[in-house]
Amino acid sequence: WAAMLKAFPDARAVVEELLVDGEKAASRIRIHGIPALIDGTQPMIIEIIRVQDQRIVELWALANMGEALKRS
């Protein structure tokens, strides 16, 4: 994130959806302040985390930011 914020100081992550079930949570995050994708939408990240003893013990993430960063 530090490199992205240096290149795009106005970048911000907006959690658009957050689902929690027991020890797992899933989030849909839209990234604003960086170049839009070719279809005009802002890049997005999907994350699934698992928490155990109040710590994140697993994190899975999928993002489509590569295209936007190449276009900058």
Q: What pLDDT is attached to residue 8?
A: 86
Q: What pLDDT is attached to residue 70?
A: 64
Domain coordinates of the chain in residue numbers?
A: 2-70
Spatial strand order in the sheet of 24-32: 12-21, 24-32, 44-52, 55-63
Q: Where does the pLDDT of residue 68 fall: very low under 50, low under 70, confident under 90, or very high at 90 and above?
A: low
Q: Where are the alpha helices (DSSP H) in 1-72?
A: 2-7, 66-70
Q: What pLDDT is attached to residue 64?
A: 86
CB 44 within 8 A of CB 29: yes
Q: Determine the topology of domain 2-70 in CATH.
A: Nuclear Transport Factor 2; Chain: A, (3.10.450)
CA angle 39, 67, 46 (to 5 degrees): 85
pTM above 0.85, yes or no: no
H or E, element range at 64: none
**Number of Cβ within a 10 Å radius of residue 31:** 19
Q: What pLDDT is attached to residue 48?
A: 98
